[in-house]
Amino acid sequence: MNFNKLFLITLFLIGSANISAQSYQFGVTAGLMIASEKAEFSGNEASVSDEGPYLGIYADIPVSEKISVVPEVDYANINGSSFGFLSVRAKYNIIPLLFVQAGPQVSYLFEQFGALNKAGIDLGLGAGVDISKHFNIQARYAFELTNRYKQEFDGTYKLNWLHIGVGYTF
């Protein structure tokens, strides 16, 4: 490929990104993630909670004046274990500064722990406040819909997540 073609393709991609960037925004987020583990086995229950930092990137894609779609990718380190999260939420602006959001989330454990599946499907609900044009504060709770046990045990193992964080929108 010669330089002129490469230059034109690059120019086209930059121009396309600038045009489409006017309709949606990108941002970064960071905060505290609290994981609640709950296991039930043969009629016995046990639960424990751990916390750690998370950070991520997101887009805010308007669908209408009050509704937008927010895809987000997060990474968390909780008690030495690495987790990844991919969520797509519907965001509804109740008033200009206050919003609620809900949607599915895939949670992924990067390490292998015995008889547990690495991936889980969660449902997240949350709320937040836009404290300025660029900064927001939000909290989301996601509860796992799937069972993390790989084998057919007489029990369940689920991870639920609480995200409390600050976002910066570009």
134 assigned to some structural domain: yes
> Closest Cα partner for 85 from 115, 110, 49, 113?
110
The domain that holds 131 is classified in CATH as: 2.40.160.20
Reply yes or no on whether the pLDDT at 160 is more than 70. yes
9 assigned to some structural domain: no
Predicted pLDDT of residue 114: 79
12 assigned to some structural domain: no
Reply yes or no on whether the pLDDT at 15 is more than 70. no
Work out how many domains the chain is built from and give that number.
1
CA 115-104-45 angle, 5° bins = 40
**Phi, psi for residue 41 in degrees, rounded to 5:** -150, 120
For residue 122, what are the domain limits? 24-169
Predicted pLDDT of residue 41: 84
Between 14 and 124, name the one with better pLDDT: 124
10 assigned to some structural domain: no
pLDDT tens column, 114-142? 788 999 999 999 999 999 999 999 999 99
Reply yes or no on whether the pLDDT at 21 is more than 70. no
Reply yes or no on whether the pLDDT at 155 is more than 90. no
Predicted pLDDT of residue 19: 44
2 assigned to some structural domain: no
18 assigned to some structural domain: no
Predicted pLDDT of residue 8: 53
Between 58 and 113, name the one with better pLDDT: 58
Give burial (CB, 10 Å; 0-12/13-18/19+) of 152: exposed
1 assigned to some structural domain: no
pLDDT tens column, 34-92? 999 999 988 889 999 999 999 999 999 999 999 999 999 999 999 999 999 999 999 99
User: pTM here?
Assistant: 0.82
- The mean predicted confidence, pLDDT, of the chain is 88
7 assigned to some structural domain: no
